[in-house]
Structure 1
Amino acid sequence: MKSRSARWLCPFGPSPSVVGRRILVTGAARGIGAALARQLHANGAQVALLGIEQDLLAEVAADCGDAPWRYCDIGDPTQVQRVVESLVGELGGLDAVVANAGIARQLPIIGGDPAVLEETLTVNVLGVYYTLRAAGPHISHPNGYVLLVCSLAAAIHLPLAGAYSASKAAAEALGNTLRIELRHTGARVGIAYFAELDTDMTATGFGTEAARAILGRSTVSGVAPLGPAIDGMQRALARRSRRVVSPYWVGVVVWFRGIGQWAVDMALRGGVGPGTEIARTEVVPFTTDQPARPRKLKRLA
Protein backbone atom coordinates (compact mmCIF):
# COMPACT_ATOMS: atom_id res chain seq x y z
CA MET A 1 0.00 0.00 0.00
CA LYS A 2 1.40 3.41 -0.98
CA SER A 3 1.96 6.06 1.62
CA ARG A 4 0.03 9.31 1.55
CA SER A 5 3.16 11.08 0.25
CA ALA A 6 3.63 8.56 -2.55
CA ARG A 7 0.01 8.88 -3.63
CA TRP A 8 0.41 12.67 -3.54
CA LEU A 9 3.55 12.80 -5.68
CA CYS A 10 2.80 10.11 -8.25
CA PRO A 11 1.73 11.84 -11.50
CA PHE A 12 0.13 8.68 -12.91
CA GLY A 13 -1.99 7.70 -9.91
CA PRO A 14 -5.51 8.82 -9.03
CA SER A 15 -6.36 12.51 -9.06
CA PRO A 16 -4.78 14.32 -6.10
CA SER A 17 -7.05 14.86 -3.12
CA VAL A 18 -6.96 16.70 0.18
CA VAL A 19 -7.63 13.57 2.25
CA GLY A 20 -5.43 13.66 5.32
CA ARG A 21 -3.88 17.00 4.43
CA ARG A 22 -3.23 19.24 7.44
CA ILE A 23 -4.28 22.75 6.45
CA LEU A 24 -4.26 26.01 8.39
CA VAL A 25 -6.80 28.63 7.26
CA THR A 26 -6.64 32.26 8.39
CA GLY A 27 -9.69 34.50 8.40
CA ALA A 28 -11.82 31.39 8.80
CA ALA A 29 -14.82 32.87 10.61
CA ARG A 30 -16.84 33.81 7.53
CA GLY A 31 -16.81 34.18 3.76
CA ILE A 32 -14.11 32.41 1.77
CA GLY A 33 -12.28 31.09 4.83
CA ALA A 34 -15.33 29.52 6.46
CA ALA A 35 -16.63 28.00 3.23
CA LEU A 36 -13.22 26.59 2.36
CA ALA A 37 -12.67 25.09 5.83
CA ARG A 38 -16.05 23.35 5.75
CA GLN A 39 -15.47 21.94 2.26
CA LEU A 40 -11.94 20.77 3.04
CA HIS A 41 -13.18 18.97 6.14
CA ALA A 42 -16.03 17.38 4.19
CA ASN A 43 -13.45 16.03 1.74
CA GLY A 44 -11.15 14.50 4.32
CA ALA A 45 -8.68 17.23 5.23
CA GLN A 46 -7.68 18.13 8.78
CA VAL A 47 -8.14 21.87 9.24
CA ALA A 48 -7.09 24.38 11.87
CA LEU A 49 -8.67 27.82 12.01
CA LEU A 50 -7.75 31.26 13.20
CA GLY A 51 -9.53 34.61 13.15
CA ILE A 52 -10.96 37.33 15.39
CA GLU A 53 -14.70 36.58 15.41
CA GLN A 54 -14.73 33.95 18.11
CA ASP A 55 -18.40 32.95 18.05
CA LEU A 56 -18.36 32.45 14.29
CA LEU A 57 -15.04 30.61 14.46
CA ALA A 58 -16.44 28.23 17.04
CA GLU A 59 -19.39 27.47 14.75
CA VAL A 60 -17.12 26.77 11.78
CA ALA A 61 -14.86 24.60 13.93
CA ALA A 62 -17.86 22.59 15.14
CA ASP A 63 -18.88 22.02 11.52
CA CYS A 64 -15.35 20.81 10.83
CA GLY A 65 -15.37 17.98 13.36
CA ASP A 66 -14.41 20.18 16.29
CA ALA A 67 -11.32 21.40 14.49
CA PRO A 68 -8.74 23.31 16.57
CA TRP A 69 -9.16 27.07 16.41
CA ARG A 70 -7.76 30.19 18.03
CA TYR A 71 -8.53 33.87 18.31
CA CYS A 72 -5.69 35.71 16.57
CA ASP A 73 -5.10 39.34 15.68
CA ILE A 74 -3.31 38.81 12.39
CA GLY A 75 -1.62 42.20 12.76
CA ASP A 76 0.21 41.15 15.93
CA PRO A 77 3.37 39.19 15.02
CA THR A 78 3.91 37.76 18.50
CA GLN A 79 0.34 36.51 18.68
CA VAL A 80 0.49 35.04 15.17
CA GLN A 81 3.69 33.15 15.98
CA ARG A 82 2.24 31.74 19.19
CA VAL A 83 -1.10 30.74 17.69
CA VAL A 84 0.38 29.12 14.58
CA GLU A 85 2.81 27.08 16.67
CA SER A 86 -0.03 25.95 18.92
CA LEU A 87 -2.31 24.93 16.05
CA VAL A 88 0.46 23.13 14.17
CA GLY A 89 1.16 21.21 17.36
CA GLU A 90 -2.47 20.12 17.57
CA LEU A 91 -2.48 19.03 13.93
CA GLY A 92 0.78 17.13 14.36
CA GLY A 93 2.45 19.03 11.53
CA LEU A 94 1.39 21.16 8.57
CA ASP A 95 0.99 20.50 4.86
CA ALA A 96 -0.54 23.78 3.70
CA VAL A 97 -1.46 27.25 4.88
CA VAL A 98 -4.15 29.43 3.30
CA ALA A 99 -3.40 33.11 3.94
CA ASN A 100 -6.96 34.35 3.55
CA ALA A 101 -7.52 36.93 6.31
CA GLY A 102 -8.18 40.38 4.88
CA ILE A 103 -10.21 43.56 5.19
CA ALA A 104 -11.32 46.35 2.87
CA ARG A 105 -12.59 49.91 3.16
CA GLN A 106 -12.93 52.66 0.61
CA LEU A 107 -10.30 55.40 0.66
CA PRO A 108 -9.96 58.51 -1.50
CA ILE A 109 -6.21 59.03 -1.88
CA ILE A 110 -6.59 62.80 -1.51
CA GLY A 111 -8.57 63.82 1.55
CA GLY A 112 -8.98 60.30 2.93
CA ASP A 113 -8.10 59.11 6.42
CA PRO A 114 -4.53 57.69 6.49
CA ALA A 115 -5.62 55.32 9.25
CA VAL A 116 -7.58 53.35 6.62
CA LEU A 117 -4.44 52.71 4.60
CA GLU A 118 -2.44 51.90 7.71
CA GLU A 119 -4.95 49.36 9.01
CA THR A 120 -5.43 47.76 5.58
CA LEU A 121 -1.70 47.27 5.15
CA THR A 122 -1.38 45.97 8.71
CA VAL A 123 -3.92 43.19 8.11
CA ASN A 124 -3.56 42.45 4.41
CA VAL A 125 0.21 42.76 4.03
CA LEU A 126 1.89 42.50 7.43
CA GLY A 127 -0.67 39.89 8.48
CA VAL A 128 0.19 37.80 5.44
CA TYR A 129 3.90 38.21 6.14
CA TYR A 130 3.49 37.25 9.81
CA THR A 131 1.49 34.19 8.77
CA LEU A 132 4.08 33.09 6.22
CA ARG A 133 6.90 33.73 8.66
CA ALA A 134 5.25 31.60 11.35
CA ALA A 135 4.00 28.79 9.11
CA GLY A 136 6.92 28.77 6.68
CA PRO A 137 9.22 26.40 8.60
CA HIS A 138 6.38 23.88 8.90
CA ILE A 139 5.53 23.77 5.17
CA SER A 140 9.13 23.83 3.90
CA HIS A 141 9.04 20.23 2.71
CA PRO A 142 8.32 18.45 -0.61
CA ASN A 143 4.57 18.27 0.08
CA GLY A 144 4.26 21.80 1.49
CA TYR A 145 2.06 24.46 -0.03
CA VAL A 146 1.07 28.08 0.54
CA LEU A 147 -2.06 29.61 -0.99
CA LEU A 148 -2.42 33.40 -0.81
CA VAL A 149 -5.83 34.97 -1.46
CA CYS A 150 -4.83 38.09 -3.38
CA SER A 151 -7.91 39.15 -5.42
CA LEU A 152 -8.16 40.58 -8.92
CA ALA A 153 -7.48 43.91 -7.16
CA ALA A 154 -3.81 42.94 -7.17
CA ALA A 155 -3.83 43.41 -10.96
CA ILE A 156 -6.67 45.88 -11.69
CA HIS A 157 -7.04 48.99 -9.55
CA LEU A 158 -10.33 50.80 -9.02
CA PRO A 159 -11.02 54.31 -7.68
CA LEU A 160 -11.49 54.40 -3.89
CA ALA A 161 -9.91 50.93 -3.67
CA GLY A 162 -6.31 52.16 -3.56
CA ALA A 163 -5.65 50.87 -0.05
CA TYR A 164 -7.07 47.44 -0.82
CA SER A 165 -5.41 47.21 -4.23
CA ALA A 166 -2.04 48.25 -2.83
CA SER A 167 -2.31 45.62 -0.11
CA LYS A 168 -3.24 42.85 -2.52
CA ALA A 169 -0.50 43.82 -4.98
CA ALA A 170 1.96 43.65 -2.09
CA ALA A 171 0.63 40.24 -1.04
CA GLU A 172 1.02 39.05 -4.63
CA ALA A 173 4.63 40.23 -4.57
CA LEU A 174 5.24 38.37 -1.30
CA GLY A 175 3.82 35.22 -2.83
CA ASN A 176 5.88 35.44 -6.00
CA THR A 177 9.02 36.05 -3.95
CA LEU A 178 8.29 33.23 -1.53
CA ARG A 179 7.78 30.81 -4.43
CA ILE A 180 11.39 31.35 -5.48
CA GLU A 181 12.72 31.22 -1.94
CA LEU A 182 10.95 27.93 -1.16
CA ARG A 183 11.74 26.14 -4.41
CA HIS A 184 14.77 24.31 -3.03
CA THR A 185 12.62 22.79 -0.26
CA GLY A 186 10.09 21.29 -2.68
CA ALA A 187 7.26 23.44 -1.29
CA ARG A 188 5.09 25.40 -3.70
CA VAL A 189 3.17 28.68 -3.61
CA GLY A 190 -0.14 29.55 -5.25
CA ILE A 191 -1.98 32.83 -5.63
CA ALA A 192 -5.77 33.19 -5.86
CA TYR A 193 -7.26 35.95 -7.99
CA PHE A 194 -10.99 36.46 -7.45
CA ALA A 195 -13.44 39.03 -8.77
CA GLU A 196 -16.45 40.11 -6.70
CA LEU A 197 -17.68 36.95 -4.99
CA ASP A 198 -20.88 36.50 -3.02
CA THR A 199 -19.42 37.32 0.40
CA ASP A 200 -19.96 39.83 3.18
CA MET A 201 -16.80 41.65 2.09
CA THR A 202 -18.19 42.31 -1.38
CA ALA A 203 -21.56 43.44 -0.03
CA THR A 204 -19.98 45.79 2.52
CA GLY A 205 -17.12 47.02 0.36
CA PHE A 206 -19.25 47.97 -2.63
CA GLY A 207 -22.39 48.87 -0.71
CA THR A 208 -21.50 52.53 -0.25
CA GLU A 209 -23.00 55.68 -1.69
CA ALA A 210 -19.64 56.68 -3.14
CA ALA A 211 -19.16 53.36 -4.93
CA ARG A 212 -22.63 53.54 -6.44
CA ALA A 213 -21.97 57.10 -7.63
CA ILE A 214 -18.87 55.93 -9.49
CA LEU A 215 -20.07 52.59 -10.81
CA GLY A 216 -23.73 53.36 -11.33
CA ARG A 217 -24.48 49.96 -9.77
CA SER A 218 -23.46 47.83 -6.83
CA THR A 219 -20.40 46.10 -8.34
CA VAL A 220 -18.02 46.29 -11.30
CA SER A 221 -18.50 42.88 -12.93
CA GLY A 222 -21.47 41.51 -11.00
CA VAL A 223 -21.42 39.23 -7.96
CA ALA A 224 -20.18 35.74 -8.79
CA PRO A 225 -21.19 32.65 -6.77
CA LEU A 226 -18.75 31.56 -4.10
CA GLY A 227 -18.90 27.83 -4.87
CA PRO A 228 -16.64 27.72 -7.96
CA ALA A 229 -13.97 29.73 -6.15
CA ILE A 230 -13.99 27.30 -3.22
CA ASP A 231 -13.84 24.34 -5.60
CA GLY A 232 -10.88 25.97 -7.32
CA MET A 233 -9.09 26.51 -4.01
CA GLN A 234 -9.62 22.88 -3.04
CA ARG A 235 -8.17 21.73 -6.38
CA ALA A 236 -5.23 24.08 -5.90
CA LEU A 237 -4.55 22.66 -2.44
CA ALA A 238 -4.72 19.13 -3.84
CA ARG A 239 -2.48 19.85 -6.83
CA ARG A 240 -0.35 22.61 -5.26
CA SER A 241 -1.26 24.87 -8.17
CA ARG A 242 0.49 28.11 -9.04
CA ARG A 243 -2.72 30.06 -9.73
CA VAL A 244 -6.44 29.98 -8.92
CA VAL A 245 -9.01 32.24 -10.61
CA SER A 246 -12.74 32.74 -10.30
CA PRO A 247 -14.79 33.41 -12.36
CA TYR A 248 -12.90 31.88 -15.30
CA TRP A 249 -12.42 35.18 -17.16
CA VAL A 250 -10.28 36.55 -14.35
CA GLY A 251 -7.39 34.48 -15.70
CA VAL A 252 -7.43 36.39 -18.97
CA VAL A 253 -7.58 39.75 -17.20
CA VAL A 254 -4.61 38.86 -14.98
CA TRP A 255 -2.52 37.92 -18.01
CA PHE A 256 -3.47 41.14 -19.82
CA ARG A 257 -3.62 43.42 -16.80
CA GLY A 258 -2.30 46.45 -18.69
CA ILE A 259 -5.20 46.35 -21.12
CA GLY A 260 -7.63 45.67 -18.28
CA GLN A 261 -6.43 48.70 -16.35
CA TRP A 262 -6.79 50.91 -19.41
CA ALA A 263 -10.36 49.64 -19.92
CA VAL A 264 -11.25 50.46 -16.30
CA ASP A 265 -9.71 53.93 -16.62
CA MET A 266 -11.81 54.65 -19.70
CA ALA A 267 -15.03 53.14 -18.38
CA LEU A 268 -15.13 54.90 -15.00
CA ARG A 269 -14.29 58.48 -15.96
CA GLY A 270 -17.77 59.93 -15.51
CA GLY A 271 -18.67 59.37 -11.87
CA VAL A 272 -15.26 59.43 -10.20
CA GLY A 273 -15.32 63.14 -9.25
CA PRO A 274 -18.69 63.08 -7.48
CA GLY A 275 -18.01 59.68 -5.96
CA THR A 276 -14.68 60.79 -4.52
CA GLU A 277 -16.29 63.86 -2.96
CA ILE A 278 -18.89 61.64 -1.30
CA ALA A 279 -16.22 59.26 -0.03
CA ARG A 280 -14.34 62.04 1.76
CA THR A 281 -17.19 62.48 4.22
CA GLU A 282 -19.04 59.14 4.06
CA VAL A 283 -18.63 57.09 7.23
CA VAL A 284 -18.26 53.39 6.44
CA PRO A 285 -16.80 50.52 8.48
CA PHE A 286 -14.11 48.02 7.58
CA THR A 287 -15.55 44.84 6.15
CA THR A 288 -14.56 43.16 9.42
CA ASP A 289 -14.24 45.09 12.69
CA GLN A 290 -10.63 45.09 13.86
CA PRO A 291 -9.19 44.93 17.38
CA ALA A 292 -7.76 48.15 18.78
CA ARG A 293 -4.01 48.46 18.33
CA PRO A 294 -1.55 51.36 18.70
CA ARG A 295 -1.22 53.67 15.73
CA LYS A 296 2.12 53.38 13.93
CA LEU A 297 1.77 56.62 12.01
CA LYS A 298 1.19 60.13 13.25
CA ARG A 299 -2.17 61.51 12.18
CA LEU A 300 -1.73 64.11 9.47
CA ALA A 301 -3.04 67.62 10.08
Structure 2
Amino acid sequence: MRRSLQGQVVAVTGAARGVGRQLACRLAARGARIALIGLEPEELRRVSDELATECAYWHADVTDAEALGRVAREVVERFGTVDAVVANAGVAQGGPFLDCDVRSFDRVLQVNLLGSVNTARAFLPALLDSRGYLLQIASLAAITPAPMMTAYCASKSGVEAFAHCLRGEVGHQGVEVGVAYLSWTDTDMVRGADEDDVLRELRRRLPWPANRTYPLGPAVERLVRGIEHRSAHIYAQRWLRGLQGIRGYLPGLIGTGARREMRRFEPQLAAGRENRAGLVGAGGAADEKAQARQIPTDS
Protein backbone atom coordinates (compact mmCIF):
# COMPACT_ATOMS: atom_id res chain seq x y z
CA MET A 1 0.00 0.00 0.00
CA ARG A 2 1.36 3.38 -1.02
CA ARG A 3 1.57 5.97 1.75
CA SER A 4 1.66 9.67 1.03
CA LEU A 5 4.87 11.37 2.15
CA GLN A 6 3.11 14.70 2.60
CA GLY A 7 4.03 15.99 6.07
CA GLN A 8 6.00 12.84 6.96
CA VAL A 9 9.30 13.34 8.77
CA VAL A 10 12.21 11.50 7.17
CA ALA A 11 15.75 11.47 8.57
CA VAL A 12 18.56 10.77 6.08
CA THR A 13 22.16 10.06 7.06
CA GLY A 14 24.97 10.80 4.63
CA ALA A 15 22.77 13.58 3.26
CA ALA A 16 25.52 15.97 2.14
CA ARG A 17 26.10 14.40 -1.27
CA GLY A 18 25.35 11.54 -3.63
CA VAL A 19 22.38 9.27 -2.97
CA GLY A 20 21.55 10.94 0.35
CA ARG A 21 21.43 14.43 -1.10
CA GLN A 22 19.36 13.46 -4.12
CA LEU A 23 17.04 11.37 -1.99
CA ALA A 24 16.42 14.26 0.40
CA CYS A 25 15.50 16.49 -2.55
CA ARG A 26 13.12 13.92 -4.06
CA LEU A 27 11.44 13.23 -0.70
CA ALA A 28 11.01 16.95 -0.08
CA ALA A 29 9.41 17.30 -3.51
CA ARG A 30 6.82 14.74 -2.32
CA GLY A 31 6.08 16.96 0.69
CA ALA A 32 8.16 15.20 3.32
CA ARG A 33 9.84 17.15 6.08
CA ILE A 34 13.54 16.31 6.11
CA ALA A 35 16.18 15.89 8.82
CA LEU A 36 19.59 15.96 7.13
CA ILE A 37 22.49 14.29 8.95
CA GLY A 38 26.10 14.23 7.78
CA LEU A 39 29.74 15.19 8.23
CA GLU A 40 29.86 18.28 6.01
CA PRO A 41 27.93 21.17 7.58
CA GLU A 42 28.42 23.55 4.67
CA GLU A 43 27.16 20.98 2.18
CA LEU A 44 24.25 20.15 4.46
CA ARG A 45 23.35 23.82 4.60
CA ARG A 46 23.37 23.99 0.80
CA VAL A 47 21.09 20.95 0.59
CA SER A 48 18.79 22.50 3.17
CA ASP A 49 18.59 25.67 1.11
CA GLU A 50 17.55 23.64 -1.95
CA LEU A 51 14.61 21.90 -0.28
CA ALA A 52 11.16 23.30 -0.85
CA THR A 53 9.81 22.00 2.45
CA GLU A 54 10.44 22.17 6.19
CA CYS A 55 13.89 20.84 6.99
CA ALA A 56 16.82 21.07 9.38
CA TYR A 57 20.32 19.65 9.43
CA TRP A 58 22.66 18.14 12.00
CA HIS A 59 26.44 17.72 11.80
CA ALA A 60 27.22 14.27 13.21
CA ASP A 61 29.41 11.23 12.64
CA VAL A 62 27.34 8.04 12.50
CA THR A 63 30.16 6.15 14.21
CA ASP A 64 29.63 8.32 17.31
CA ALA A 65 26.73 6.56 19.02
CA GLU A 66 26.37 9.20 21.71
CA ALA A 67 26.24 12.07 19.21
CA LEU A 68 23.76 10.21 17.02
CA GLY A 69 21.53 9.52 20.01
CA ARG A 70 21.53 13.23 20.78
CA VAL A 71 20.67 14.03 17.16
CA ALA A 72 17.74 11.60 17.20
CA ARG A 73 16.32 13.27 20.30
CA GLU A 74 16.77 16.71 18.76
CA VAL A 75 15.05 15.62 15.54
CA VAL A 76 12.02 14.50 17.57
CA GLU A 77 12.05 17.76 19.51
CA ARG A 78 12.28 19.75 16.26
CA PHE A 79 9.61 17.92 14.25
CA GLY A 80 7.55 16.14 16.91
CA THR A 81 8.01 12.69 15.38
CA VAL A 82 10.09 10.59 12.97
CA ASP A 83 8.20 8.55 10.39
CA ALA A 84 11.08 7.11 8.38
CA VAL A 85 14.87 6.87 8.62
CA VAL A 86 17.26 6.16 5.77
CA ALA A 87 20.60 4.72 6.90
CA ASN A 88 22.58 5.86 3.89
CA ALA A 89 25.96 7.09 5.19
CA GLY A 90 28.79 5.13 3.63
CA VAL A 91 32.39 5.20 2.43
CA ALA A 92 34.49 2.86 0.30
CA GLN A 93 38.04 1.73 -0.26
CA GLY A 94 39.47 -0.17 -3.19
CA GLY A 95 42.51 -2.34 -3.82
CA PRO A 96 43.95 -5.70 -2.82
CA PHE A 97 43.30 -6.56 0.83
CA LEU A 98 46.99 -6.81 1.77
CA ASP A 99 47.72 -3.42 0.21
CA CYS A 100 44.87 -1.62 1.95
CA ASP A 101 45.56 1.06 4.51
CA VAL A 102 44.46 -0.52 7.79
CA ARG A 103 42.89 2.64 9.18
CA SER A 104 40.84 3.20 6.02
CA PHE A 105 39.78 -0.45 5.88
CA ASP A 106 38.52 -0.28 9.47
CA ARG A 107 36.80 3.04 8.80
CA VAL A 108 34.71 1.47 6.02
CA LEU A 109 33.44 -1.13 8.46
CA GLN A 110 32.85 1.45 11.17
CA VAL A 111 30.88 3.86 8.99
CA ASN A 112 28.94 1.42 6.84
CA LEU A 113 28.16 -1.30 9.37
CA LEU A 114 28.48 0.13 12.87
CA GLY A 115 27.20 3.50 11.67
CA SER A 116 24.02 1.80 10.46
CA VAL A 117 23.71 -0.04 13.76
CA ASN A 118 24.09 3.27 15.62
CA THR A 119 21.48 4.86 13.37
CA ALA A 120 18.97 2.12 14.10
CA ARG A 121 19.68 2.20 17.82
CA ALA A 122 19.29 5.97 17.99
CA PHE A 123 16.07 6.25 15.97
CA LEU A 124 14.19 3.03 16.75
CA PRO A 125 12.47 4.47 19.86
CA ALA A 126 10.96 7.21 17.70
CA LEU A 127 10.05 4.75 14.94
CA LEU A 128 8.34 2.51 17.49
CA ASP A 129 6.24 5.48 18.59
CA SER A 130 5.27 6.35 15.00
CA ARG A 131 5.09 2.75 13.73
CA GLY A 132 7.53 3.93 11.10
CA TYR A 133 9.99 2.65 8.52
CA LEU A 134 13.76 2.10 8.52
CA LEU A 135 15.48 1.80 5.14
CA GLN A 136 19.00 0.42 5.03
CA ILE A 137 20.97 1.32 1.90
CA ALA A 138 22.93 -1.76 0.87
CA SER A 139 24.46 -2.53 -2.52
CA LEU A 140 25.11 -5.04 -5.25
CA ALA A 141 28.14 -5.69 -3.01
CA ALA A 142 25.80 -7.35 -0.49
CA ILE A 143 24.58 -9.83 -3.11
CA THR A 144 27.84 -10.75 -4.79
CA PRO A 145 31.51 -10.65 -3.78
CA ALA A 146 33.82 -8.21 -5.53
CA PRO A 147 37.60 -8.72 -5.33
CA MET A 148 39.45 -5.48 -4.63
CA MET A 149 36.52 -4.26 -2.51
CA THR A 150 36.78 -6.50 0.54
CA ALA A 151 35.90 -3.90 3.19
CA TYR A 152 32.95 -2.52 1.25
CA CYS A 153 31.49 -5.96 0.47
CA ALA A 154 31.93 -7.11 4.07
CA SER A 155 30.20 -3.99 5.39
CA LYS A 156 27.28 -4.12 2.95
CA SER A 157 26.74 -7.84 3.52
CA GLY A 158 26.71 -7.04 7.21
CA VAL A 159 24.11 -4.29 6.99
CA GLU A 160 21.89 -6.47 4.81
CA ALA A 161 21.93 -9.24 7.42
CA PHE A 162 21.45 -6.73 10.24
CA ALA A 163 18.39 -5.22 8.55
CA HIS A 164 16.84 -8.63 7.85
CA CYS A 165 17.29 -9.64 11.49
CA LEU A 166 15.88 -6.34 12.72
CA ARG A 167 12.81 -6.72 10.50
CA GLY A 168 11.97 -9.93 12.29
CA GLU A 169 12.40 -8.34 15.70
CA VAL A 170 10.36 -5.16 15.32
CA GLY A 171 7.74 -6.07 12.71
CA HIS A 172 5.18 -7.10 15.32
CA GLN A 173 5.57 -3.65 16.87
CA GLY A 174 4.55 -1.93 13.66
CA VAL A 175 8.00 -0.92 12.38
CA GLU A 176 8.86 -1.96 8.83
CA VAL A 177 12.50 -2.45 7.79
CA GLY A 178 13.69 -2.37 4.19
CA VAL A 179 16.93 -3.01 2.33
CA ALA A 180 17.82 -1.11 -0.84
CA TYR A 181 20.24 -2.48 -3.42
CA LEU A 182 22.13 -0.28 -5.88
CA SER A 183 24.53 -1.26 -8.62
CA TRP A 184 27.26 1.11 -9.85
CA THR A 185 25.47 4.46 -9.72
CA ASP A 186 26.84 7.83 -10.79
CA THR A 187 28.04 9.26 -7.47
CA ASP A 188 31.26 10.74 -6.11
CA MET A 189 32.09 7.34 -4.64
CA VAL A 190 31.87 5.48 -7.94
CA ARG A 191 33.71 8.22 -9.82
CA GLY A 192 36.43 8.07 -7.17
CA ALA A 193 36.74 4.29 -7.54
CA ASP A 194 37.11 4.74 -11.30
CA GLU A 195 40.22 6.85 -10.72
CA ASP A 196 42.02 3.60 -9.93
CA ASP A 197 43.09 2.21 -13.31
CA VAL A 198 42.80 -1.44 -12.28
CA LEU A 199 39.44 -1.07 -10.57
CA ARG A 200 38.09 0.78 -13.59
CA GLU A 201 39.33 -1.86 -16.02
CA LEU A 202 38.09 -4.75 -13.89
CA ARG A 203 34.65 -3.17 -13.75
CA ARG A 204 34.66 -2.58 -17.50
CA ARG A 205 35.33 -6.28 -18.03
CA LEU A 206 32.34 -7.39 -15.95
CA PRO A 207 29.45 -8.92 -17.91
CA TRP A 208 26.57 -6.66 -18.89
CA PRO A 209 24.61 -5.19 -17.12
CA ALA A 210 26.98 -5.15 -14.13
CA ASN A 211 29.62 -3.18 -16.06
CA ARG A 212 27.44 -0.08 -16.53
CA THR A 213 27.34 3.10 -14.47
CA TYR A 214 23.68 3.99 -13.93
CA PRO A 215 22.27 7.52 -13.62
CA LEU A 216 21.49 8.67 -10.11
CA GLY A 217 18.05 10.15 -10.75
CA PRO A 218 16.11 7.00 -11.76
CA ALA A 219 17.81 4.99 -8.99
CA VAL A 220 16.76 7.48 -6.34
CA GLU A 221 13.23 7.64 -7.74
CA ARG A 222 12.95 3.91 -7.11
CA LEU A 223 14.11 4.45 -3.54
CA VAL A 224 11.42 7.09 -3.05
CA ARG A 225 8.72 4.75 -4.36
CA GLY A 226 10.01 2.03 -2.05
CA ILE A 227 9.78 4.37 0.93
CA GLU A 228 6.22 5.28 -0.06
CA HIS A 229 5.34 1.56 -0.04
CA ARG A 230 7.56 0.72 2.94
CA SER A 231 9.05 -2.05 0.85
CA ALA A 232 11.10 -4.85 2.36
CA HIS A 233 13.38 -4.87 -0.71
CA ILE A 234 14.08 -2.04 -3.13
CA TYR A 235 16.10 -2.54 -6.32
CA ALA A 236 17.47 0.70 -7.75
CA GLN A 237 18.12 -1.16 -11.01
CA ARG A 238 15.50 -3.76 -12.02
CA TRP A 239 17.96 -6.48 -12.96
CA LEU A 240 19.31 -6.70 -9.40
CA ARG A 241 16.14 -8.52 -8.34
CA GLY A 242 17.06 -11.38 -10.65
CA LEU A 243 20.38 -11.93 -8.89
CA GLN A 244 18.64 -12.91 -5.66
CA GLY A 245 17.64 -16.26 -7.14
CA ILE A 246 21.19 -17.18 -8.17
CA ARG A 247 23.26 -15.47 -5.47
CA GLY A 248 24.29 -18.80 -3.98
CA TYR A 249 26.19 -19.61 -7.18
CA LEU A 250 27.93 -16.24 -7.51
CA PRO A 251 30.87 -16.70 -5.08
CA GLY A 252 32.07 -19.78 -6.98
CA LEU A 253 31.63 -18.17 -10.39
CA ILE A 254 33.30 -14.94 -9.40
CA GLY A 255 36.11 -16.73 -7.58
CA THR A 256 36.96 -18.65 -10.74
CA GLY A 257 36.86 -15.60 -12.99
CA ALA A 258 38.66 -13.35 -10.52
CA ARG A 259 41.61 -15.73 -10.29
CA ARG A 260 42.27 -15.17 -13.97
CA GLU A 261 41.70 -11.42 -13.83
CA MET A 262 43.88 -10.84 -10.77
CA ARG A 263 46.73 -12.75 -12.39
CA ARG A 264 46.33 -10.59 -15.48
CA PHE A 265 46.54 -7.32 -13.54
CA GLU A 266 49.17 -8.38 -11.02
CA PRO A 267 51.97 -6.28 -12.59
CA GLN A 268 49.81 -3.13 -12.56
CA LEU A 269 48.72 -3.77 -8.99
CA ALA A 270 52.33 -4.16 -7.88
CA ALA A 271 53.37 -0.98 -9.69
CA GLY A 272 50.62 1.07 -8.05
CA ARG A 273 50.98 -0.34 -4.55
CA GLU A 274 52.65 2.74 -3.08
CA ASN A 275 49.94 5.08 -4.34
CA ARG A 276 46.97 3.03 -3.12
CA ALA A 277 45.61 4.31 0.18
CA GLY A 278 42.63 6.02 1.70
CA LEU A 279 38.93 6.25 0.99
CA VAL A 280 37.61 6.90 -2.51
CA GLY A 281 35.73 9.89 -3.84
CA ALA A 282 34.89 13.33 -2.51
CA GLY A 283 32.83 11.84 0.29
CA GLY A 284 35.79 9.72 1.36
CA ALA A 285 38.02 12.78 1.34
CA ALA A 286 35.49 14.65 3.49
CA ASP A 287 35.38 11.76 5.94
CA GLU A 288 39.18 11.65 6.19
CA LYS A 289 39.27 15.40 6.72
CA ALA A 290 36.74 15.13 9.53
CA GLN A 291 38.73 12.33 11.12
CA ALA A 292 41.95 14.34 10.92
CA ARG A 293 40.34 17.17 12.89
CA GLN A 294 39.50 14.70 15.66
CA ILE A 295 42.88 12.93 15.89
CA PRO A 296 45.36 14.71 18.19
CA THR A 297 48.85 15.21 16.76
CA ASP A 298 52.17 15.18 18.60
CA SER A 299 53.43 18.62 19.54
One of 10, 23, 26 as aligned partner of 1:36: 23
Question: Which amino acid is 2:23 matched to?
Answer: L
One of 128, 131, 134 as aligned partner of 1:140: 128
State the partner residue of 2:169.
Answer: 181
Alignment of 1:1-301 (within 5 A): 15-64=2-51, 65=53, 67-141=55-129, 143-215=131-203, 220-273=210-263, 274=266, 276-278=269-271, 280-286=273-279, 287=281, 288=283, 289-290=286-287, 291-292=290-291, 293=294
CA contact (8 A) 1:26 1:100 kept: yes
CA contact (8 A) 1:16 1:239 kept: yes
Q: Distance in 2 between matches of 1:276 and 1:159?
A: 13
CA contact (8 A) 1:188 1:240 kept: yes
Superposed displacement of residue 31, structure 1:
0.7
C-alpha change, 1:46 and 1:210, in structure 2 (3 Å) is same
Structure 1 gap segments, 5+ residues each: 1-10, 296-301
**Structure in which a larger fraction of residues adopt helix:** 2
Q: Distance in 1 between matches of 2:10 and 2:137?
A: 15
Superposed displacement of residue 114, structure 1:
1.9
Superposed displacement of residue 233, structure 1:
1.2
Superposed displacement of residue 174, structure 1:
1.0
Cα shift readout 1:101-148 (whole Å, capped 9, x = no counterpart): 000011422243222221111101111111100001000146310000
Question: Which amino acid is 2:275 matched to?
Answer: E
Q: Distance in 2 between matches of 1:35 and 1:216?
A: 26
**Percent of aligned positions that are identical:** 32
Q: Distance in 2 between matches of 1:208 and 1:138?
A: 42
Superposed displacement of residue 184, structure 1:
1.9
Q: Please, what is the CA RMSD of the aligned residues?
A: 2.2
Superposed displacement of residue 212, structure 1:
3.2
| TM-score, scaled relative to structure 1 | 0.87
CA contact (8 A) 1:213 1:271 kept: no
| TM-score, scaled relative to structure 2 | 0.87
Question: Which amino acid is 1:271 matched to?
Answer: E
CA contact (8 A) 2:91 2:112 kept: yes
After alignment, is 216-225 or 147-156 more displaced?
Answer: 216-225
The number of residue pairs the alignment matches comes to 282
Residue aligned with 2:103, SS? helix
